[in-house]
C-alpha cells in the first residue's frame, strides 16, 4: 500500500481538521464548558477517541514500529504551561489552524504567539532539554 505521497498527510489533516471542528473542539464556548464540567460531551468524545485508539494500536502493533515517548524534564512543566495557554485561548495547535480556516482573523494573534513560543523553545532547547521525537 503506497498512496501518492502527499495524500498521506493531506487526507489525515483534512479529516482531523473537519472532525475537531464538527465536534466543537475549536469553539471556545464548548471547550470552556467542558473544562468547567458543565458539558461532558467533549470529554466523552476524547475518552472514546483514546479508548478506540488503544484498541486500534493493539490491532496494528505489528505493522507499526514507533519509538517510545521519552520522559524528560520538560514533560510536566511544559504540559502545565500548555494547559494554562489552552484554558485562556481555547486553542491547542491544531485548533489555531482550524479557526483561521473558518475566517476567525483573531486566531492570527494566537497563531503568531504559538510560533513565537516554538521559536523561543528552539532557541533555548539545549538548556531546557526536550525529547528528540517530534509530536
Partner 1 sequence: MTNNYWPWWVGGGLLAIVAIAFPLLNGAPLGVSGALARLLHWRSEKPTGNPPTNQRLENLLFLVGILVGGAIAGWVGGQPLGSGAKLSTEFYRLFGSGVRAVLALFAGGILVGFGTRWSGGCTSGHGLSGCGRLQPPSLIATAVFFGVAIAVSFVLERVLS
**Minimum distance from CB of 39 to partner 1 (Å)?**
10
Question: What is the spatial distance between Cα 76 and Cα 36, in angstroms, rounded to a whole number?
Answer: 22
Q: Which residue has the cell 473537519?
A: 18
**Minimum distance from CB of 132 to partner 1 (Å)?**
4
**Minimum distance from CB of 71 to partner 1 (Å)?**
4
- Please tell me whether residue 27 adopts helix, strand or coil conformation: coil
Q: How many chain residues touch partner 1 (CB under 8 A)?
A: 109
Residue 127 touches partner 1, criterion: CB under 8 A: no
Find out whether 19 and 11 touch, Cβ atoms under 8 Å.
no
In the region spanning residues 16 to 35, those forming contacts with partner 1, defined by CB under 8 A, are 16-30, 32-33, 35
In the region spanning residues 52 to 91, those forming contacts with partner 1, defined by CB under 8 A, are 52-54, 56-57, 60, 63-66, 68-72, 74-91
Find out whether 45 and 39 touch, Cβ atoms under 8 Å.
no
Residue 133 touches partner 1, criterion: CB under 8 A: yes
Residue 126 touches partner 1, criterion: CB under 8 A: no
45-54 burial string, b = 16+ CB within 10 Å, else e?
beeeeeeeee
Amino acid at each position: 500500500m503506497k498512496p501518492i505521497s502527499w495524500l498521506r498527510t493531506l487526507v489525515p489533516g483534512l479529516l482531523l481538521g473537519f472532525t475537531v471542528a464538527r465536534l466543537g473542539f475549536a469553539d471556545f464556548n464548548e471547550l470552556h464548558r467542558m473544562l468547567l464540567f458543565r458539558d461532558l460531551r467533549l470529554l466523552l468524545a476524547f475518552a472514546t477517541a483514546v479508548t478506540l485508539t488503544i484498541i486500534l494500536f493493539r490491532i496494528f502493533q505489528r505493522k507499526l514500529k514507533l519509538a517510545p515517548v521519552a520522559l524528560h524534564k520538560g514533560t510536566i512543566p511544559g504540559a502545565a504551561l500548555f494547559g494554562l495557554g489552552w484554558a485562556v485561548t481555547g486553542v491547542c495547535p491544531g485548533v489555531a489552524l482550524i479557526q483561521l480556516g473558518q475566517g476567525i482573523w483573531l486566531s492570527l494573534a494566537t497563531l503568531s504567539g504559538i510560533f513565537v513560543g516554538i521559536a523561543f523553545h528552539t532557541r533555548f532547547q539545549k538548556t531546557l532539554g526536550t525529547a528528540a521525537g517530534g509530536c
